[in-house]
Structure 1
Amino acid sequence: MLNHAREAFELTKGRSRADLDSDRLLNLALVRLLEVIGEAANSIPKEEQVNYPEISWAQIVALRNRLIHGYDAVDFDILWQIITQDLPPLITALEKIVPLEDSFE
Structure 2
Amino acid sequence: MNRKEKYECWKSRMEDFEASGQTIPEWVSSQEGITEYQFHYWRKKLKAETDPSPNPPQVDCHGWTTLEVSSMSTNPAIELKMDDLSLMIPEDVSEHHLSLVLRVLRNG
TM-score by length of 2: 0.27
The structure richer in helix per residue is: 1
The structure richer in strand per residue is: 2
TM-score by length of 1: 0.27
Q: For the pair shown, which has the larger CA radius of gyration, 1 or 2?
A: 2
